[in-house]
Homo-oligomer: A and B are copies of this chain.
């Protein structure tokens, strides 16, 4: 099954992908029905990054980053690398040289269900990474994997070209064919939240604003 590089993948519209990134993970996740999150152990190496990008997926053997080199050729402006090992691994598959190469092709960042190293350099370069671990352990180049095949990364099923949204809250995947629809719902949600935010900031209670007081009373909640 390993040993394939799929060269032409479909991506969602670049403007939509960027706009999903601007909405952020929590909003996009809610907008598409509370699905698509990667596991909570996927943490950014520095605070403040927020991206929307198209997934170039890489299935790699444990401790072997040969395929990452093959994957970079498949990237274009607006992509994000998504690396999933075939068995649990925390080795450091990726560092500043690979990031330099990826950045030269317009790659927005990296999602990796394994380790990452050179985090100081990556931070200075402004190349964001969401990873399971920071670990300097080097990898070898001995076995094949595949590029642009379906993967499970940190518990989420991701296909090549799916949209990745990542920020300080974590990482979310949106099916590329749902991107426009999810964006519309996410933006509607954002508009709606702003009005609520102002009412709550003024001291109005959610209990009243959302009509929860009556519902909770009906459910049997007692104020004592």
Q: Which residues on B sit within 8 Å (CB–CB) of A66?
A: 212, 216
User: Interface readout for A1-42 with B: 1 if CB under 8 Å, 0 if not?
Assistant: 111111100000000000000001110011011110101100
Q: How far is the CA of A207 from the CA of B101 in the complex (A)?
A: 11
Q: Is the CB of A97 within 8 A of B197?
A: yes
Q: Which residues on B sit within 8 Å (CB–CB) of A69?
A: 205-207, 210, 212
Q: How far is the CA of A128 from the CA of B213 in the complex (A)?
A: 27
Q: How far is the CA of A30 from the CA of B96 in the complex (A)?
A: 14
Q: Which residues on B sit within 8 Å (CB–CB) of A214?
A: none
Q: Which 3 A-B pairs have the closest CB atoms?
A: A40-B135, A101-B200, A62-B63
Besides A5-B222, A69-B207, A70-B216, 18 other A-B contacts (C-beta < 8 A): A3-B220, A24-B120, A26-B118, A34-B138, A40-B88, A62-B89, A69-B205, A87-B137, A88-B89, A89-B89, A101-B200, A103-B201, A104-B203, A120-B169, A135-B169, A140-B142, A142-B143, A152-B155
